[in-house]
């Protein structure tokens, strides 16, 4: 659609059943996907875009709203509208390691422990972990970032006599894989995975630095050790704007 910062007016097809805002959105979206508008860069102001396309600023706003809904751009009052970084491809399968995935994408990974507590197991988690309902388990709240951008937050439950002190190991090492190594578990695999999606609650949005109501991908999974014994039940919440799951064949 061209850079068009030289005062030229990009002509739209008017009166042919294609709404102006949709043409503008499609054009900008193509610019983003083709890399003509770089990730992280600032879009021209709404006023500038309105001038370029010869439309009212309201029409530009409608187009930008459509892009924001698709997660392509993010607008901040007083600052401007910026191109979102492309979604990180997050492979899920029998062997998934957050730290490996992110570093392979050339970003730095870190998991922060938000909180940990010993709690009685609810029915669903108890069944997943193959323990008696009500028996003790360790519940961890974590958040996972790539280059300081939060990608996901998770609630992880581990059976308790076995993993007493796991929270301290995790807090120090910042990675499940490394914390498991401290407990003598060199390898573990994913037993089951379920995927859903829903809007973020206010507190979840705050944790992930998202606008409230933005979409979360909910990934519920159970991991087992080499002997097939369940060692963790996790519910991860991914910011759908920043992550795309890839199922390994």
Partner DNA sequence: GCCTATTTGTTCGTATGTATC
Partner DNA sequence: CGATACATACGAACAAATAGG
Matching residue, tokens 């360790």: 138
* From candidates 48, 75, 92, 173, binder to its own copies by CB under 8 A: 92
Three-state DSSP class for residue 100 = helix
The residue among 200, 86, 213, 82 whose CA lies nearest residue 152 is: 200
* From candidates 4, 27, 71, 80, binder to its own copies by CB under 8 A: 71
Smallest separation, CB 93 to DNA (Å): 36
* From candidates 14, 36, 70, 95, binder to its own copies by CB under 8 A: 70
Choices 35-43, 142-150, 172-180, 195-203 (CB under 8 A): range interacting with its own copies: 195-203
Q: For 175-199, b where at least 16 C-beta lie within 10 A, e where not — what string?
A: bbeebbeebebeebebeebeeeeee
x/- site string to its own copies, residues 214 to 233, per CB under 8 A? -xxx----------------
Binding-site partner at residue 71 among its own copies, DNA, none, CB < 5 to 8 Å by type: its own copies
Under 8 Å between Cβ of 157 and 121: yes
Task: Verify binding: residue 181, its own copies, rule CB under 8 A.
Answer: no
Q: Is 219 left (phi over 0), alpha (psi -120 to 50) or beta?
A: beta
Look up residue 226 and give its two tokens.
């080499």
The residue among 20 and 109 lying less far from DNA, judged by its C-beta, is: 20
Task: Verify binding: residue 240, its own copies, rule CB under 8 A.
Answer: yes
Task: Verify binding: residue 101, its own copies, rule CB under 8 A.
Answer: no
* From candidates 56, 149, 198, 226, binder to its own copies by CB under 8 A: 198
Smallest separation, CB 235 to its own copies (Å): 9
Three-state DSSP class for residue 115 = strand
Packing angle of the helix pair 57-69, 46-53 (nearest 10 deg)? 110
Binding-site partner at residue 61 among its own copies, DNA, none, CB < 5 to 8 Å by type: DNA
Q: How far apart are CA 29 and CA 182, in angstroms?
A: 47
Q: How far apart are CA 178 and CA 129, in angstroms?
A: 21
Task: Verify binding: residue 134, its own copies, rule CB under 8 A.
Answer: no
Q: Residues interacting with its own copies, by CB under 8 A? A: 26, 29-30, 33, 66, 69-71, 87, 89, 92-94, 122-124, 190-199, 201, 215-217, 240-241, 244-247, 249
């Amino acid at each position: 659609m061209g850079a068009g910062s030289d005062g030229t007016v990009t002509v739209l097809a008017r009166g042919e059943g294609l709404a102006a805002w949709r043409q503008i959105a499609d054009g900008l979206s193509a610019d983003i996907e083709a890399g003509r508008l770089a990730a992280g860069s600032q879009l021209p102001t709404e006023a500038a875009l309105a001038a370029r396309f010869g439309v009212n600023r309201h029409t530009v706003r409608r187009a930008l709203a459509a892009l924001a809904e698709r997660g392509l751009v993010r607008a901040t009052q007083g600052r401007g509208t910026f191109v979102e970084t492309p979604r990180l491809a997050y492979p899920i399968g029998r062997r998934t390691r957050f730290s490996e995935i992110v570093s392979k994408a050339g970003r730095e990974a870190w998991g922060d422990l938000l909180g940990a507590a010993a709690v009685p197991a609810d029915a669903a988690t108890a069944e997943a972990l193959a323990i008696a309902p009500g028996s003790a388990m360790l519940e961890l709240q974590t958040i996972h970032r790539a280059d300081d951008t939060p990608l996901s937050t998770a609630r992880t439950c581990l059976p308790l006599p076995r993993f007493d002190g796991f929270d301290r190991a995790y807090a120090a090492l910042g990675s499940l894989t490394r914390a498991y190594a401290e407990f003598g578990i060199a390898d573990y695999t994913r037993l089951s995975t379920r995927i859903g999606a829903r809007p973020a609650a206010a507190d979840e949005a705050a944790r992930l630095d998202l606008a409230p109501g933005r979409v979360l991908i909910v990934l519920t999974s159970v991991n087992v050790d080499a002997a097939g014994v369940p060692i963790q039940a996790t519910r991860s919440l991914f910011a759908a704007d920043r992550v795309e799951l890839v199922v390994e064949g």
